[in-house]
Amino acid sequence: MKSEVYFTPFGAKHFDDSILSRLEKMFDRSGAGSIIKEGDLVAVKAHFGEHGNVSFISPVYYRTIIDRIKMCGGNPFITDSNTLYVGERNNAVKHHNIAARHGFTIETAGAPVIIADGLMGTDFVEVEINGKHIKKAKIASAVYWAPKMIVVSHCKGHMLTGFGGTLKNLGMGAACRAGKQEQHSGQVPKFISDKCTGCGECVEWCNFNAIEIKGNKAVNLPDKCAGCGECIAACRFDAIESNWDVDAGIMQEKMAEYAAASVKNKKRGVFYFNFVINVTPECDCAPSSDKYLVPDIGILGSFDPVALDAASVDLINKASVITGNVSDKESYELKHAEHDKFRMVHPKMDWRSQLKHAEELRMGTREYELIEV
């Protein structure tokens, strides 16, 4: 049976045709508000963006969703969990500061920010999942205890999963720091000595003291490496890359199992939005924003996270690339540009693994009906 995925395209059909008004209409028509009862605490799963990143979803969009939640009688809060890498979001104080800097305040977004796994990323609840890789997932406490949840995700590329949407936002974003490390384990990157300049930026970025400079070259210490992959993003010289000798699909399967665990206790108490705008080659955890791969497409919503991600990727792949934004990228395999934008950017990464495994976990189906609002 096909799942319903609601879609409103980006762009105005007339002068006062606001995308925010159409987001309100989608919220109502899709039945997103039907999950909320008077007085419900509603977690709004967000990503505040790393310092230096400007492609994350604007709090203006969150305000529209949050106002709708309040109209349904819910008590919303905006939440995300602390990061595994250093950055500006690896503890709750820094995380709150970057959220506020990016406009996620109660005055602008309409709801308080609560960091889901606490001050140091250690507040979690173990959820039994008995998956192929994960038996008990470590889910951030605020995500677990919230009876209802609206998941707001930004669709873009990702260095370790190829594509990041709802499943990535849930699987990695609802995990505490230890849960993130569990998913990344085994993904120890390769260091390419010939390309390394010895600048030391990767050393500063690593939160695990797993990189040293020896002989003016960066050297990885596998026994300390958590496999988070952030050094790959930090390196400006392409001197660090994913270790393709390790099955990258395993991490995606772990991520799907964490995503399933994060909503296990909520039954039909979750609704999902995907924003297919500002589609960058890397995730919002990067301390920068690269050129967009395709023009802005729109906003999608569904009760089915698998169908939602599938529909989002299909729309991206049907869109034409912004030629000037990709033609100067030597690492891109442009032969994929017409049929798979994320294989174009990350040619060795099969992003479909996460959707396939989530479907096997009965989180949803890749078959969908697209309903334009």
Query: What confidence tens digit (pLDDT) does each residue in 156-210 have?
Result: 999 889 999 999 999 999 999 889 878 887 767 889 999 999 999 999 989 889 9
Per-residue pLDDT at 232: 79
88 close to 284: Cβ distance less than 8 angstroms: no
Which one has a higher pLDDT value, 170 or 339? 170
Per-residue pLDDT at 247: 65
Q: Please tell me the CATH code under which domain 3-185+248-372 is placed.
A: 3.40.50
What residue type is 229 in one-letter code?
G
Residue 370 to residue 301: CA distance in whole angstroms: 10
Q: Please tell me the CATH code under which domain 190-241 is placed.
A: 3.30.70.20
Residue 38 to residue 92: CA distance in whole angstroms: 29
Residue 262 to residue 153: CA distance in whole angstroms: 15
Q: Which two tokens stand for residue 322?
A: 């912004």
Residue 53 to residue 236: CA distance in whole angstroms: 15
Per-residue pLDDT at 252: 95
Question: CA–CA distance from 266 to each of 35, 143, 183, 204, 244 (Å)?
Answer: 10, 10, 22, 39, 36
pLDDT at residue 242 greater than cutoff 70: no
What 3-state DSSP class applies to 359?
helix
Can you tell me which residue has the tokens 């994960």?
134
311 close to 7: Cβ distance less than 8 angstroms: yes
CB-count burial class (<10 Å; 0-12, 13-18, 19+) for 13: exposed
Per-residue pLDDT at 181: 79
158 close to 284: Cβ distance less than 8 angstroms: no
The residues, any chain, with a CB within 8 Å of residue 81's CB and separated by 6 or more, are: 115, 116, 117, 121, 140, 143, 173, 174, 175, 176, 177, 180
Can you tell me which residue has the tokens 């698998």?
306
Per-residue pLDDT at 142: 98
pLDDT-based confidence at residue 106 (cuts at 50, 70, 90): very high
pLDDT-based confidence at residue 246 (cuts at 50, 70, 90): low
Domains of the chain, by residue range, sit at 3-185+248-372, 190-241
Per-residue pLDDT at 338: 82
Taking CA 199 as the corner, what is the angle to CA 194 and CA 201, rounded to the nearest 5 degrees?
Answer: 115
Lowest mean pLDDT among 47-51, 52-56, 286-290, 368-372: 286-290
Taking CA 212 as the corner, what is the angle to CA 208 and CA 217, rounded to the nearest 5 degrees?
Answer: 140
Residue 48 to residue 33: CA distance in whole angstroms: 23
The residues, any chain, with a CB within 8 Å of residue 158's CB and separated by 6 or more, are: 164, 168, 282, 283, 346, 351
pLDDT at residue 102 greater than cutoff 60: yes
Helix (H) or strand (E) holding 77: strand 75-80
139 close to 179: Cβ distance less than 8 angstroms: yes
DSSP 175: B
pLDDT-based confidence at residue 148 (cuts at 50, 70, 90): very high
pLDDT at residue 324 greater than cutoff 90: no
Average pLDDT, the chain: 93
Percentage of residues of the chain with pLDDT beyond 90: 79
161 close to 172: Cβ distance less than 8 angstroms: no
- pTM, rounded to two decimals: 0.88
Residue 365 to residue 70: CA distance in whole angstroms: 30
